[in-house]
Structure 1
Amino acid sequence: MGSKIKTLVVDDELYSRDELTHLLETYPSIQIIGEADSGETAILKALQLQPDVVFLDVEMPKINGMNAAKTLMELKKPPLIVFATAYPEFAVEAFRCSAIDYLLKPFDEKQLAEAVKRIEKHFDTTEEILNPDKIALIVDEKILLVKNANILYLESSEGKCTVVTLDNPYKVSNTLIGLEKRLDTKKFLRVHRSYIVNIDHIIEIEPWFNSTYNLLMRGGSKIPVSRTYVKDVRQLFQF
């Protein structure tokens, strides 16, 4: 692995925050760049520090962890989210927020190690595909090599990623963030926290509410452009 993984730890309880920070600092790949004691502070620090991953408590006053995560996922470069909480009942909702892991207090060092390994895998540059014309998709424990030119768009919903091609949609075990790292940025554009499109297959740009747009794709699909990415679309197509 190359550079360290910039990490923000968020918990309103000082003891829990200190414990998790201490445990994470034992991993050479992890760099703690900040701490926050509330959802509001977490959002502000994420904007300021641009962490790669946020360890996030759920039960916090005012803005709780779930709502903070939803806001973080709207950022132009959203961090990975790991929920760290004493409450197991929020797990389903957590993965709807595209969380990469869900840790329960008191922290189990083995589970934490597995979470860190999963995070490292996301940022491991050795996983990049050497052939720029194709990308490896994990489908039902098989590895399919799909031509990038045949991909219409990629979609993430409730923590599950779907790659839609000219021929078929594939529900893949890859994550949207992981695939984004391996796609040609000259051909693929993130237009929403849940969508990445192949610009060669955009047929029409349709103005929508609140100065946003819909992209009409080859094959008939309609992809929303969120306000966060409107500027990127306008700059790309110069309108």
Structure 2
Amino acid sequence: MKVLVVDDEPLARERLMRLLESEDTVTQCFSAANGQEALTRMTTDPVDLVLLDIRMPGISGLEVSERMMEATQPPAIVFCTAYDDYALDAFRVQAVSYLLKPVKREDLNRVLRQAGQLNRAQLNALGDQDAGPVLTLQTGRGKERIPLTDLYYFRADQKYVTALCRQGERLCDLSLKQLEERWPDHLVRVHRNTLVPKQRLEKLSRDSEGGFWLRLRGLEESLPVSRRFARELKPLFEG
């Protein structure tokens, strides 16, 4: 099992690393001093389990966990905190468990066993593994996790990006550029303000005035396509 320790306190981070290095089930362990460093490491070298501090400067542990859970194969997450009132939040983002600081060896052994047993269940709880990435989108009731396969398109309008999905319209915290960079294999730009999941592409047509229009699977309306992106789209409809 590959484990990542995320904590802004050097002593707490080093203590956990020492405990992990003596565990037979742990094959590799890494550390990160903040949320951004942890997210960067996960993109280059994914792990099976993340031991995550909640209160950190910059990106909080709760936000880091939500972003990690958007991965196609998210890690098991265990929160490490001195405040047990975060327990409900831990399970809201589908963490496997949480540890109270200072972490005891017997408690660490317990969550390592849970991580191994529940990692598969955690993935299943997110939906079908073959469904691809999962996004966290804003609704009037809070945040909602929606598979990319439920999305029709993303549209930028001034300061906001709106996602149209089977559940209705949702607000997205990411820009179109960030969405493209995060899921380049799944999304394609059709207009300067519109991004579409590739699996939704159905038909590219041209009207009498020379304008391009895109029909999407499962959606009645057609989307306008700029000439520039029409050239890039055409190969996706060939063969």
Do Structure 1 and Structure 2 share a fold, with TM-score over 0.5?
yes
TM-score scaled by length of structure 1: 0.58
Structure-2 change in CA distance of 1:222 and 1:230 (3 Å): farther
Superposition deviation, residue 82 in structure 1: 0.8
Percent of matched pairs sharing the same residue: 27
Equivalent residue for 1:107?
A: 103
The answer to whether the 8 Å contact 1:191/1:224 transfers is: no
Number of matched pairs? 173
1:22 aligns with 2:57: no
1:120 aligns with 2:74: no
Corresponding residue to 2:155 among 190, 196, 209:
209
Superposition deviation, residue 64 in structure 1: 2.5
Across the aligned residues of Structure 1 and Structure 2, the Cα RMSD in angstroms comes to 3.3
The answer to whether the 8 Å contact 2:71/2:134 transfers is: no
The gaps in structure 1 that reach 5 residues or longer are 125-173
CA distance, structure 2, for counterparts of residue 88 and residue 58 of structure 1: 11
Corresponding residue to 1:232 among 179, 186, 193:
186
The answer to whether the 8 Å contact 2:163/2:171 transfers is: yes
The answer to whether the 8 Å contact 1:192/1:229 transfers is: no
Structure 2 SS opposite 1:75: coil
Superposition deviation, residue 118 in structure 1: 1.0
The gaps in structure 2 that reach 5 residues or longer are 137-144, 173-178, 188-196, 203-239
Larger radius of gyration between Structure 1 and Structure 2: 2
CA distance, structure 2, for counterparts of residue 179 and residue 89 of structure 1: 24
Structure 1 SS opposite 2:186: helix
TM-score scaled by length of structure 2: 0.58
1:69 aligns with 2:65: yes
Superposition deviation, residue 83 in structure 1: 0.6
Superposition deviation, residue 230 in structure 1: 8.2
